[in-house]
Every structure is written in structure tokens, then in C-alpha cells.
Amino acid sequence: MRLATPHMGSLYDLLADLFSRMGVDYHDTPRTTERTVNLGVKYSPEFACLPLKITVGNFVEALETGADTLLMIGGIGPCRFGYYAEIQKRVLKEAGYGFDFITLEPPKVGWINFISTIKQMAPGCSVYSIYRHIRDCFRKAQVLDMLEKKWLELAAYDETPGDTTKAYAAAQEIVKRVTRPEELADAQHDAFSIMDGVRRDHDRKPLRIGIIGEFYLLLEPFFKFDIEPWLIKRGVSVDRGVYLTDWIGPTTKNPVAGMSAGEIEIAADPYLKHTVGGDGLASIGHAVHYAKEGFDGIVHLLPFTCMPDTIAKALLVNVSEDYGIPVLSMIVDEQTGKAGVHTRLEAFLDLMANRRRSWTRT
Ligand code: SF4
């Protein structure tokens, strides 16, 4: 069995680490490129949401390069993500590919089902060792997420621009080298010491932007159009509503992003009183949080035809008016290009800088 999964940011690194510990032959699926997008668009239903098309493209490239078994997470709830595995399987069979397909239902659907599906992939592992490997890899990925959050927030304060970005790269390497759980605490300490060792000017008042929206766009660099490093290079301090380990984690506490599901619901309540699937409610909750925290603006990313974040987009108009915070909602589809996204962001930065100047004059 040569197992492949679709890409979603650092998910590949986490799974490569996990499967190597469990002795599973995990395929290095080519990273998402224009070709992946074109393949996904060719085989997927026209009105499918963008992440479905891209993950189909990932699977086609995995099968072309030697994978024979495809793994996809299942899902529950009103969002179309719950149907992805079934649609991917059908689309690829109709396209003539031969493969085995495994759907991993999330633990909240049932722990027994979750563990027995993993045991199917790693028959030589005991249930306890599966639990231990998942726990150890997850904790390591969580430290990497915490480093990323720190990088996004602090790079704008560097006395010498670029120092935090270099420190972040070095810190990541230290944590990625960890193979045994007892090494993680020291690696975490060393990694954060490197980040904290950068000389910063905390009197500086950089523009602060919160990035919210649909989880796949917020986690997959190809469809985030490198906006985070782009903003950091322009001296902006960034925060993001979704991190990988919060999204896949077994609890709803979201320790990396720092806002639990309950806190998100309370923040969103004046605008949206119930879940609408996907990240619709989370987008509103995070937007209210950023507004209350005095951020200068909010960037909202949503895929074309995404129902939950389309609802959020409409409600964000009210959040923007009530708190006087600019919101830039960008709908992303397979035609969206990096240059266009960066041009819109450039104008958004000008708007926020002008607002700052007008406050200073009054
Ligand atoms: S959140 Fe939106 S884009 Fe993402 S899977 Fe659900 S419907 Fe599709």
C-alpha cells in the first residue's frame, strides 16, 4: 500500500512524521501548482467548491506518481466538506483511475471507528502505540503552529527587518528534528529562545491585520497567495484565525489561535446566533475579536460558492460599520492570481495608513 493524501499547508509534514513512526508507506504527493488546479477543474463538477477541485487535482497527481491508496478525512455538518470523500472517489473512478480509498471519519464521529481505520493502515501497531504516535506528532505540530503565530505577530517590530523571519526558519528546523517525545520540551525552549533573541522596537506602531475566512484557504499557501510574508515585508503585524492543529485538534479550545469555540460563539452572537457550517461563524467571531482588539483591518478569504463564508461576508458589512474597521473580503477561485490579490492588498494598506494619519491629525 502506498498511501497519499491531499495537501493543505503543513498537514503533509505532520502526516509524514506520523506515518514514518507507524511504518506506513506515505507518498510524497507533488505540491499544489497550476497543473494541480487544471487537473482538479478538469475532473470536478463545475460548481464544486474550490478546495474539492484542488484536492481532486492532488489525488490525480498522487496516482500518476505511484500512490495506490487515497486517504481522505470525512466530515459532519451542513458544509459540503462532509461529501468530499464520496465525490472524490466517484470523480476519480469515472476518470478511469484504479485505487483503494480510505475515509477517515473524525474522532468526534466515534473514537473506535477512528482508531480502527488507522489500524487498517498500520496493522503492525497496537492501539496504544497509535495513540502515542498521534499524541507526539500532534504536540510537535502544535509547537510549530505557535512559532508561526509568533512570527506573524512579531516580525513587524524587527530593528533589522527580516531577523524574525530568519529566526523563525532556524526555530522550525530545531523542532522538526525532534523524533522522541522527551526531546520536545528542550527543542521548544531553544526555538522560542531564538525567536525571543531578536532585537525589536516595541515602541513601533505597525499596522495590524487579522486574517479570517475558510480554513483551507487560510492553511494552504498556494491559495493564500503568500499574503502573510508579503504583509510582513511591508511592516505589517499579522494574526490569523485558523491554525492547523486547532482545526484538526480533539478539543474546541483552539489553544494556538487563542479563542475557543465558545468564545467565538459569544463574540459572533450579535450578528449570527447559530452555526452555518464551515467557518462562517468563526469568521464573524474572529472579526469581532480583531475589531475589539483595535486591529487596523481585516482580510477575509473565501472560496467562490462557499455558502458558510458567503453568509459571513454579508454579515461582516455590519461588523465593519459597527466597529469602524475596514474589511477586505476576497473571493478566490481557480482564476484568481497572486498579482491581483497583492494589488488589492496594496490599496487596502493605503486605506488603513490614511485612516491612521487622519486620527493622528484630529
Ligand atoms: S467551508 Fe466552504 S469551501 Fe470549505 S468545504 Fe465547506 S462549503 Fe466548501
Cβ(158) – ligand 1 distance below 6 Å: no
Q: Classify domain 205-361 at the CATH topology level.
A: Rossmann fold (3.40.50)
pLDDT given for residue 216 in this prediction:
96
Q: Give the residue, out of 247, 283, 306, 311, with the most ligand 1 atoms within 8 A of its beta carbon, to mutate for a pocket test.
A: 306
Which residue in 244, 348, 207, 341 sits closest to 8, CA to CA? 244
The length of the chain, given as a count of residues? 362
- Angle CA 232–140–227, to nearest 5: 20
User: For the residues of 278-298, what is the DSSP string, one character each?
Assistant: TTHHHHHHHHHHHHHTT-SEE
Distance CA 5, CA 11 (A): 9
Q: Are 103 and 72 in contact (CB under 8 A)?
A: yes
Q: pLDDT-derived band of residue 79, with 50, 70 and 90 as boundaries? A: confident
Return the pLDDT at 111: 84
CATH topology of domain 3-125: Rossmann fold (3.40.50)
Cα 179 from Cα 312, distance rounded (Å): 41
pLDDT number for residue 89: 97
Q: How confident is the model at residue 358 (pLDDT cuts 50, 70, 90)?
A: confident
> What does the pLDDT average to over 67-87?
89
Give the integer Cα–Cα distance in Å for 245 and 264.
Answer: 17
| Residue 220, ligand 1, Cβ within 6 A | no
| Residue among 53, 73, 88, 307 whose CB has most ligand 1 atoms within 8 A, to mutate | 307
Q: How far apart are CA 316 and CA 357, in angstroms?
A: 24
pLDDT of res. 251? 87
Tell me if 87 CB under 6 Å of ligand 1. Answer: no
Q: Phi/psi class of residue 119: alpha, beta or left (left: φ > 0; alpha: ψ in -120 to 50)?
A: alpha
Q: For helices 307-323 and 280-292, give the axis angle rounded to 10 degrees.
A: 20
3-state secondary structure 173-201: HHHHCCCCHHHHHHHHHHHHHHHHCCCEC
pLDDT digits (tens, 9 = 90+) for 164-205: 999 999 999 999 999 999 999 999 999 999 999 999 999 999
Our answer on whether the CB atom of 280 is closer than 6 Å to any ligand 1 atom is: no
Query: How large a percentage of the chain has pLDDT more than 70?
Result: 98
Instruction: Tell me the three state secondary structure of residue 113.
Output: helix
Choice among 43-52, 64-73, 76-85, 199-208 with the minimum mean pLDDT: 76-85
Task: Give, for ligand 1, the residue of 8, 49, 281 to mutate: max count of ligand atoms closer than 8 Å to Cβ.
Answer: 49
Closest ligand 1 atom number to CA of residue 278: 1
What average pLDDT does this structure show over 206-227? 96
Query: Atom 1, ligand 1: which residue's CA is nearest?
Result: 278
Q: What is the pTM (predicted TM-score) of this model?
A: 0.95
CA 186 to ligand 1 centroid distance, Å: 38
The pLDDT score that the predictor gives to residue 78 is: 67
- Taking the C-alpha atoms of residue 204 and residue 202, their distance in angstroms, rounded to an integer, is 5
Q: Which residue, by CA, sits nearest to atom 3 of ligand 1?
A: 306
Examine the pLDDT at 357 and tell me if it is beyond 90.
Answer: no
Mean pLDDT score, 74-99: 91
Please answer whether residues 12 and 29 qualify as being in contact, where contact means their C-beta atoms are separated by less than 8 angstroms: yes
Report pLDDT for 17. Answer: 97
Average pLDDT value for the chain: 95
For ligand 1, is residue 308 a contact (CB within 6 Å)? yes
Q: Is 306 in the pocket of ligand 1 (CB under 6 A)?
A: yes
Which tens digits make up the pLDDT trace of 254-264?
999 999 999 99
- Residue pair 242/152 in contact by the 8 Å Cβ criterion: no
Query: Could you give the percent of the chain with pLDDT greater than 90?
Result: 91
Q: Phi and psi at residue 105, in whole multiples of 5°?
A: -75, 140
Residue closest via CA to ligand 1's atom 2 equals 306
The pLDDT of residue 274 is: 93
- Distance (angstroms) between ligand 1 centre and the Cα of 238 equals 24
C-alpha cell at 69: 491508496
Q: Minimum mean pLDDT among 11-15, 74-78, 286-290: which range?
A: 74-78
Whether 75 shows a pLDDT value over 80: the answer reads no
Exposure string of 50-80, with b = 16+ CB inside 10 Å and e = fewer, is: bbbbbbbbbbbbbbeeebbbbbbbbbeeebb
Band (pLDDT 50/70/90 cuts) for residue 82 is confident
